Amino acid sequence: MNSLEAMSCVITLFIALNAYAADSTCTASQNDLYPSVRLGINTAIRFNKAEESVDPDGDIYPIMIFEQKCDTSSEKQVAELPYLGDPGKVESAFLKDADFDGISELFVIHRATLYSDTGTSYGSDYFTTLVYRPRSAEKYELDERISNYFGSGADVLSSPISDDLIYKHPYKSKAQVESELDSTRYRAWLEQKRVVTRIMRKTYLYDQANTADKTTSYLVAGDQIQVLDRQAGWLEAVFHNKKGDIKGWVLCRDTLECSDQNRSLKK
């Protein structure tokens, strides 16, 4: 073996050992609350229990998101997941290009059981989708606009003794989020295009994107609305008539905007 071949073997061995060391540092740990998400060879997103309890008299620890360098084991806090009377769990975490710029964002779907009595009859756990954008090689920040699009919520029943849903939270899983990212309505919202749609059936207006904020005003089938914003299966809309403008939130499912005819960019 000549000196050039020997040097090549040394370099190859050095690269292999470094890759092994980095990978072994980022392997699964008993402290992980959800499998880590790899960001290339040397970085991983990890989900661990907070070091301090949110209740001085209890044993309640929120879930923390950390970015870990696999070669040095150094960690940097990215965020703390919502605490809603229960730390909940990470339902899903994955990478997806949310704005089609070639760089993937980090999606985290948090799931928690609601224990407090709010007067609302819930039919599911409470889900929150959070989207984090890489601002640099060392920093992830919450993308509030895209996070608000997917929003948070739980299924809502018409009464405690009924199975009738008056609201169904549309983003409980990775598959549902990815499907929405492929939809024409998401692309139109992202590009801030002017969107006009029609009401499919009688639907009430709400002051906020919440079933608790129902008003006495309503729209009927055929009414045309302009969409101003979107959040967790709701549309903020304005209806123009001879008496003036009526503005409020409506359920997207009651409009052509959320019909199967306007579902996906992929055929």
Among 121, 124, 126, residue whose Cα is nearest residue 161: 121
Tens of pLDDT, residue by residue over 206-220, are: 999 999 999 999 999
What's the whole-number average pLDDT of the chain? 85
Domain of 238: which CATH number?
Answer: 2.30.30.40
What are the angstrom distances between the C-alpha of 16 and each of 12, 64, 89, 146, 248? 6, 32, 36, 39, 59
Enumerate the β-bridge partners of residue 66.
46, 77
Of 130, 151, 182, the one marking the end of a domain is 182
Tens of pLDDT, residue by residue over 243-265, are: 889 999 999 999 999 986 444 33
pLDDT for 1: 56
Domain ranges, residue 208: 195-258
Asked if the structure places residue 124 within a domain, the reply is yes
Query: pTM score, two decimals?
Result: 0.84
Six-digit token pair at 194? 């002017």
Work out the pLDDT band at 15, boundaries 50, 70, 90: very low
Total number of domains constituting the chain: 2
Asked if the structure places residue 11 within a domain, the reply is no
Same domain, 123 and 233: no
Whole-angstrom Cα distance, residue 266 to residue 249? 28
C-alpha torsion angle, residues 218, 223, 224, 228 (rounded to 10): 10
Same domain, 245 and 133: no
Q: What do you get for the CA distance between the two ends of the chain, in Å?
A: 57
Do 62 and 81 contact (CB within 8 A), yes or no? yes
Among 227, 241, 237, 232, residue whose Cα is nearest residue 176: 232
Same domain, 84 and 210: no
Work out the pLDDT band at 145, boundaries 50, 70, 90: very high
3-state secondary structure of 111: strand
